[in-house]
Amino acid sequence: MFEKMKMNGEAVVVTGGGAGIGKSTAMAVAEMGATAVICGRTEATLRDAQADIRARGYACEYMMADVSKEEDVVKLAAAVAERWGSVKAIVNNAGNNYSALLHELQTPKWNELIATNLDSVYFMCREFIPLLLKSKGPSIVNIASTFGVIGNAKMPVYCATKGAVVNLTRQLAIDYGAQGLRVNSVCPGSTLSPRYKGYLDKGMVDMEAVKARIMLRRPAECDEIGNVAAFLVSDAASFMTGATVVVDGGQTIH
């Protein structure tokens, strides 16, 4: 099994790869021998993540891109194609959330979250599928959320986008399975990403209430999600496609 998890310098593109789950996923695929290509909007964050990954002796490059913008993704795919020719996998991790009742949610914020959480997946898949199909055993992993399979109070646009990502994943698995392209989604529960820790620091999240809903009585660390995403990228998961992999410490079973 471990042999099937090894990569040989193949490019794996991770959006939102500068921090949190994205960085942990990039670290994991790089440890497996891939060249982690992290992209995002903040160069300082990407540079720091690249330095951390390289400090462990792994291969990592970064490219600037706002994947909610079509033109940025087109340029990103062209740059990756020019440098590597093909990609082993893409991990669509970039995303954001927002809390409001639907009747209080303004159209600009709705459109912003749709662009970040859903349009980005569409743009990335559309532009990178031709590069993926040039590789042996290519894979797409879309980072969704437990709120893509259950509801949550005051998060209508986040739940809508993550549910869409889950079902788009299934649909892509149908269309491209015959060509050998696997497409899976990961649905994390509460995870101690920098953004989530910021909510805790501001008192926006009741940690005791969160723990009470999780059977393991704690939120996830980012690498506990990144490791699952990296496994799905690898050939060790060669017969998994169209799957919705919930990684939530038991949140959604209760």
| Residue 24, both tokens | 């942990």
Annotation says 158 is catalytic:
yes
Residue of 62, 158, 176, 196 marked active site: 158
Residues 6+ apart with CB under 8 A from 127: 73, 74, 76, 77
Residues 6+ apart with CB under 8 A from 118: 161, 164, 165, 168
CA angle 197, 244, 210 (to 5 degrees): 30
> What residue type is assigned to position 28 of the chain?
A
The number of beta carbons lying within 10 Å of the beta carbon of residue 145 is 28
Mode of pairing for the β-strands spanning 182-188 and 139-143:
parallel
Query: DSSP letter string over 174-208?
Result: HHHGGGT-EEEEEEE-SB--HHHHHHHHTT-S-HH
Q: What's the pLDDT at 69?
A: 98
| DSSP at 220 | B
Superfamily (CATH) of domain 3-190+219-247: NAD(P)-binding Rossmann-like Domain (3.40.50.720)
> What residue type is assigned to position 8 of the chain?
N
- Residues of 55-82 as b/e, b for ≥16 C-beta within 10 angstroms? eeebbbbbbebbbbbeebbeebbeebbe
CA pair distance 82, 13, nearest whole angstrom? 14
pTM flag (> 0.95): yes
What is the Cα Rg of the chain in Å? Answer: 17
- Residues of 215-229 as b/e, b for ≥16 C-beta within 10 angstroms? eeeebbebbbbbbbb
Q: What's the pLDDT at 254?
A: 83
CA dihedral 59, 62, 68, 72 (to 10 degrees): -120
* Ranges of each domain in the chain: 3-190+219-247
Beta-bridge mates of residue 141:
91, 184
CA pair distance 22, 183, nearest whole angstrom? 17
The number of beta carbons lying within 10 Å of the beta carbon of residue 86 is 17
Measure CA 163 to chain center. 14
Q: What is the pLDDT along the chain (254 residues), one digit of tens a residue?
A: 889 999 999 999 999 999 999 999 999 999 999 999 999 999 999 999 999 999 999 999 999 999 999 999 999 999 999 999 999 999 999 999 999 999 999 999 999 999 999 999 999 999 999 999 999 999 999 999 999 999 999 999 999 999 999 999 999 999 999 999 999 999 999 999 988 888 888 888 889 999 999 999 999 999 999 999 999 999 999 999 999 999 999 999 98
The total number of residues written for the chain in this structure: 254
